[in-house]
Amino acid sequence: MLRGDKIAKAKGKLGVLLPGMGAVTTTFIAGVESIRKGLHKPFGSLTQLGTIRLGKRTDKSAPFIKDFVSITDLSDIVFGGWDIFEDDMYAASKNSSVLKPEDLEPIKDFLSSIHPMKAVFDQKYVKNLKPVWFKDLDNKYDLAEALRQDIRDFKEKNGLARVVIVWAASTEAFIKVGDVHQTLESFEQGMKDNHDDIAPSMLYAWAALKEKVPFANGAPNLTTDIPALYELADINNVPLSGKDFKTGQTLMKTIVAPGLKARLLGLNGWFSTNILGNRDGEVLDDPASFKTKEESKLSVLEHILQPDIYPDLYGNFYHKVRINYYPPRGDDKEGWDSIDIFGWMGYPMQIKIDFLCRDSILAAPILLDLALFMDLASRADMGGIQEWLSFYFKSPMVAPELNPEHDLFIQQAKLKNTLRYMMEEEQVTHLGIEYYEK
Ligand SMILES: NC(=O)c1ccc[n+]([C@@H]2O[C@H](COP(=O)([O-])OP(=O)(O)OC[C@H]3O[C@@H](n4cnc5c(N)ncnc54)[C@H](O)[C@@H]3O)[C@@H](O)[C@H]2O)c1
């Protein structure tokens, strides 16, 4: 890892390539372009609006993160990606109905100029979509090589200094880590043999890592979370992060649950249900894709509440998560949580949360921060899993021997301390005893 002045500055253009150019991607691109034109502010983005305390509280030094570490200026970002539909980003934005016409019209020409490349798709992994714009090759290895060529062409055509990839395509069907995923050798052989357990997202990830392009996974698919791709990331020293953008209901869960645990309030049950009507909701209507999402959502409470350490408080809670596809709501999701807790002498209490959120509005700034921080990690020579970016994920990727950290506030402290470490600044421990010592 490089630190301080040794980290290369973010000079030149950064390409952000997005497999999946649907609701999240179009909202992200439209938002960045609107911000560049001064039409909106980057609400929700830590890289753009966040500050970081340095030194003692009495030093009163809290620069903006973007002034503390060298991150790419928004004006230097170039967008591209792949989809199974040919729509340009203006048509795709209209289709996903997240943003209002008055926000799209001023940037119509820019959005219309961005066209997806042909996707790598396999119906076995996403049953509810019928592709029309895809690479017509039979072999998985050849498909992945074609993706590598797309990355190289995109870089050259746009005169880019660097590229990052963030997966924002549909959630793939649930699969477990199998033999073919164990080593790079078995994985590459599996690609050549068209092995069933190699999903399209894995081909995009392999192509990225081969091209030394950082890869972040915004969906819950297994994708890079397999030994074969850890191995490739290590060999090529490329950053990896995932999985599943932490938005909506899980964001609320990782805010509320650490609070209950901090006050040692017990939990009898947590019932979570959602309605949403966008294409993501339609894909998740298929039980195989929902299973992938469910696994990602369910593990959060276990890890935060640690029932093995606190059996009396959390040894027996019932956790249920449901997602219901309900077209009238479009991208405006409603997430209900009904939480049964108990306190002093076992007396029961209830908490109800009704979060009327907008999925893509919550996800877009996460995508921006991940693209910029993954590029920073690459310039700092930080290959492999980027646990410090857990802050952004529902199922954070961690070293195989570790439990993931889900508590949003620990994740935030970890992220900021990593930035301080990178810049050779002292860690902030929040001890504060020095202010009272005579
Ligand atoms: N919106 C959120 O808050 C949120 C939160 C966490 C995770 N996610 C995940 O992010 C992803 C994107 O969400 P969205 O709301 O934009 O969904 P979306 O359905 O609007 O967009 C996904 C796009 O991916 C395309 N696609 C599917 N398979 C592809 C492939 N193999 N290659 C290229 N393109 C492909 C689809 O055609 C579609 O345009 C989903 O997996 C979703 O679960 C979203």
Q: Which residues contact residue 229 at a Cβ distance below 8 angstroms, ignoring those fewer than 6 apart?
A: 181, 184, 187, 202, 205, 206, 209, 223, 240
Query: What are the backbone angles phi and psi of residue 266, rounded to the nearest 5°?
Result: -80, 165
224 and 351 part of one domain: no
Nearest-CA residue for ligand 1 atom 6 is 245
Same domain, 255 and 302: yes
Q: Give SS3 for 164.
A: strand
Helix, strand, or coil (residue 78): strand
Boundary (domain end) residue, out of 326, 358, 390: 358
Identify the CA nearest to 106 among candidates 173, 20, 23, 37: 37
Strand runs labelled E in 22-121: 77-83, 117-118
Report which ligand 1 atom has the smallest distance to the Cα of 26. 16
Residue 321 C-alpha to ligand 1 middle, in angstroms?
20
Q: Do 168 and 199 sit in the same domain of this protein? A: yes
Residue nearest to atom 25 of ligand 1 (CA): 20
* Residue 181 Cα to ligand 1 middle (Å): 24
CA of 204 to the centre of ligand 1 (A): 14
Q: What's the CA-to-centroid distance between 408 and ligand 1, angstroms?
A: 24
Which among 130, 241, 280, 359 is the best mutation to test ligand 1's pocket, defined by most ligand atoms within 8 Å of the CB? Answer: 280
Tell how far the Cα of 23 is from the centroid of ligand 1, in angstroms. Answer: 7
Q: Are 391 and 408 in contact (CB under 8 A)?
A: yes
Distance CA 10, CA 71 (A): 6
Q: Which two tokens stand for residue 367?
A: 């995508």
Q: Ligand 1: distance of its center to the CA of 9 in Å?
A: 32
Contacts of 174 (CB under 8 A, 6+ apart): 288, 289, 291, 292, 295
Check which CATH number belongs to the domain holding 318 and give it. 3.30.360.10
Q: What is the pLDDT of residues 253-300, one digit of tens each?
A: 999 999 999 999 999 999 999 998 888 888 888 888 888 878 777 888
Q: How far apart are CA 222 and CA 296, in angstroms?
A: 10
Question: Is residue 390 situated within a structural domain?
Answer: yes
Do both 114 and 216 map to the same domain? yes
Which region, left, alpha or beta, applies to residue 6 given φ > 0 means left and ψ of -120 to 50 means alpha? alpha
Q: Which residue has the tokens 């190699």?
A: 198
What CATH number is associated with residue 201?
A: 3.40.50.720
Evaluate the omega torsion of the peptide bond into residue 243 and state whether it is cis, within 30 degrees of 0. Answer: yes
Q: Which residues line ligand 1 (CB under 6 A)?
A: 19-25, 82-85, 96, 119-121, 126, 129, 168-171, 200, 218-219, 244-245, 247-248, 278-280, 283, 359-360, 362-363
Give CA 72 to chain center in angstroms. 19
- 236, 145: one domain: yes
Residue nearest to atom 11 of ligand 1 (CA): 168
Lookup result for tokens 């993706």: 147
Spacing, Cα 280 to ligand 1 middle (Å): 6
Between the CA of 367 and the centroid of ligand 1 the distance, in Å, is: 12
Domain boundary among 358, 384, 399: 358
**What pLDDT is attached to residue 173?**
93
Over the stretch 16-69, which tens digit does the pLDDT of each residue have? 999 999 999 999 999 999 999 999 999 999 999 999 999 999 999 999 999 999
Domain-ending residue, one of 339, 358, 377: 358
| b/e 370-409 (16+ beta carbons within 10 angstroms → b) | bbbbbbbbbbbebbbbbbbbbbbbbbbbeeeeeebbbbbe
Integer Cα distance of 200 and 223 in angstroms = 8
Residue 261: the pLDDT is 96
Q: How many residues does the chain have?
A: 438
Output the 3-class SS for 229-295.
Answer: HHHHHHHHCCEEECCCECCHHHHHHHHHHHHHHHCCCEEEEEEEEEEECCHHHHHHCCHHHHHHHHH
The model's pTM is 0.96
Closest atom of ligand 1 relative to the 170 alpha carbon: 41
Q: What is the pLDDT of residue 164?
A: 98
Q: Is there a domain that residue 433 lies in?
A: no
Residues 226 and 285 reside in one and the same domain? no
Q: Are residues 33 and 140 in the same domain?
A: yes
Q: Which two tokens stand for residue 164?
A: 């990052």
Per-residue pLDDT, 375: 98
The protein residue whose alpha carbon is closest to atom 3 in ligand 1 is 359
Residue 400 belongs to a domain: yes
- For residues 119 and 170, the answer to whether their CB atoms sit within 8 Å is no
Residue 387 placed within a domain: yes
Whether 11 and 58 share a structural domain: yes
| 192, 274: one domain | no
Per-residue model confidence (pLDDT) at position 332: 87
Minimal-distance CA residue to ligand 1 atom 18: 22
Separation of CA 250 and ligand 1 centre (Å): 17
Query: Would you state the pLDDT for residue 298?
Result: 82
Which helix (H) or strand (E) is 46 found in, with range? helix 46-49
Residues 285 and 224 in one domain: no
Distance 21 CA to ligand 1 centre (A): 7
Give the model's pLDDT for residue 290. Answer: 84
Number of domains in the chain: 2
347/371 same-domain check = no
Testing ligand 1's pocket by substitution, the residue of 17, 24, 297, 321 carrying the most ligand atoms inside 8 A of its CB is: 24
Q: Tokens 């609320």 map to which residue?
A: 252
Per-position DSSP letters for 187-217, written without gaps between them: HHHHHHTT-TT--HHHHHHHHHHHTT--EEE
Query: Is 437 contained in some domain?
Result: no
Q: Is the residue at 430 inside a domain? A: no
pLDDT less than 50: residues of the chain: none
Quick one: which atom of ligand 1 is closest to the CA of 360?
A: 1
The pLDDT, as a whole number, for residue 280 is: 80
Closest CA to 386 of 429, 422, 360, 425: 422
Per the domain annotation, does 435 fall within a domain?
no
- Widest pairwise Cα distance in the chain: 74
Angle between helices 184-192 and 200-210 (to 10 degrees): 120
Q: If you measure from the C-alpha of residue 388 to the centroid of ligand 1, how many angstroms do you get, rounded to a whole number?
A: 24
Nearest CA to ligand 1 atom 42: 219
Asked whether residue 257 falls in the same domain as residue 116, the answer is no
Q: Does some domain include residue 299?
A: yes
Q: Which two tokens stand for residue 220?
A: 């819950």
Domain with 298, as residue range(s), is: 249-358
